[in-house]
Amino acid sequence: MVATSATSSFFPLPSSSLDPNGKTNKLTSTNFSGLNPIPNSSGRLKVKPNAQAPSKINGNNVSLPGSVHIVKTDNNHDLSQQHAPRTFINQLPDWSMLLAAITTVFLAAEKQWMMLDSKPRRSDMIMDPFGLGRIVQDGLVYRQNFDIRSYEIGADRSASIETVMNHLQETALNHVKSAGLLGDGFGSTPEMVKKNLIWVVTRMQVVVDKYPTWGDVVEVDTWVSKSGKNGMRRDWLVRDCNTGEILTRASSVWVMMNKVTRRLSKLPEEVRGEIEPYFVNSDPILAEDSRKLTKLDEKTADYVRSGLTPRWSDLDVNQHVNNVKYIGWILESAPVEMMEKHKLKSMTLEYRRECGRDSVLQSLTAVSGCDVGSLGTAGEVECQHLLRLQDGAEVVKGRTVWSSKTPSTTWDTTS
């Protein structure tokens, strides 16, 4: 009964007719042997459909009325005595509508996938349309793409240095994770977690050839190498995903610190065994800038910004200030006149100690290579930086080089 009801809802069965006495006539089988044209002296065509309908539907006997004659005239009037019966055959649905709907859905899905997969393919990597990273080049280099968002650009409509540094940090952590070495810490391997060890950066060198703009897609490669007896070097190469143009090169040195004592530690052999298989035997992507960083104080600095304090959001899972935040604090004392007309070209940082959430810091900047009063018209400007605690203890020392912006990248405040 259930099957019969379901079938009748899609393929309605013929309704019974009443005889003159009010009784229901039984349905009888109809013999449709074909379509036989009947000649007519008036030139009209008479069509006599004779087809054999199935005798059973879902196991139930079904019979249809006797032969039905339909005469079609030139003016398309139906001259039959009764309408054609609603049979299983002539009530089949129009499957073309369903096929058209399915085809439309598949074409729309294919179009969306082609839009996601529109990035240029390279022979040495599996394409990843969703921007997730991949291990490439014999499993030693990690590659990840980033879209430049509207909230990642600065006043000159290009990505800020903090955005670039965040991309570098993100690929470094994802590299450790994709290699299966991520323990319960922030970039720490399982053996490091057992020994309460974490990575801390001691030196960072960055050269920016060109800043991406809103809507650009950048491709970031990163890899690690040995650095001395107890350190590790990590390099990055940032390119424009569409053109392959090199945008940024960066190199850094990392050492281990005990998470409990907050003191530097030697590299344990167990940890060395975990990370050495991923070391790349190559020179640093940047030649080391061995020039000594100038020591600053309030007397030698041209600009000073005091009272800087970490916010809760500035701390990472290891309970110390995120490395990128230090860069922002250093630039707090950089002259606005210089940043309006210049872009950061290169940066060298030396991290001396960490600061906690209750620390109060002071940012100092000294300009060299030009007069402070002519920063807006100067060509290339070099600055010395110092970030220190209130008691004078050095946190980060740095050197930055700034080059003039092209007219197209200078923000027009009148627009």
Contact yes or no for 191/271 (Cβ under 8 A): yes
Q: Which two tokens stand for residue 99?
A: 């096929």
Instruction: Single out the residue of 109, 27, 10 nearest to residue 68, CA to CA.
Output: 27
- Active-site residue, from 167, 175, 320, 385: 320
Burial 153-178 (b: 16+ CB within 10 A, else e): beebebbbbebbbbbbbebbebbbeb
Mark whether 322 is an active-site residue.
no
- What is the full DSSP assignment across 103-165? HHHHHHHHHHHHHHT-SPP-TTS---TT---EEETTTTEEEEEEE--GGGB-TTSBB-HHHHH
Q: Which two tokens stand for residue 382?
A: 């070099």
Strand-strand pairing, 60-61 and 141-147: unpaired
- Active-site residue, from 174, 355, 383, 385: 355
Written as one letter, the residue type at 386 is L
Q: Which two tokens stand for residue 377?
A: 């018209």
Mark whether 370 is an active-site residue.
no
Half-sphere exposure of 342 (CA within 13 A, CB side): 23
Burial class of residue 93 (count of CB atoms within 10 Å of its CB; 0-12, 13-18, 19+): exposed
Q: How far is CA 149 from CA 99, 157, 217, 310, in A?
A: 40, 11, 10, 25
| Cα–Cα dist 261/267, whole Å | 16
How many C-beta atoms surround the C-beta of residue 29 within 10 A?
15
Mark whether 230 is an active-site residue.
no
List active site positions: 318, 320, 355
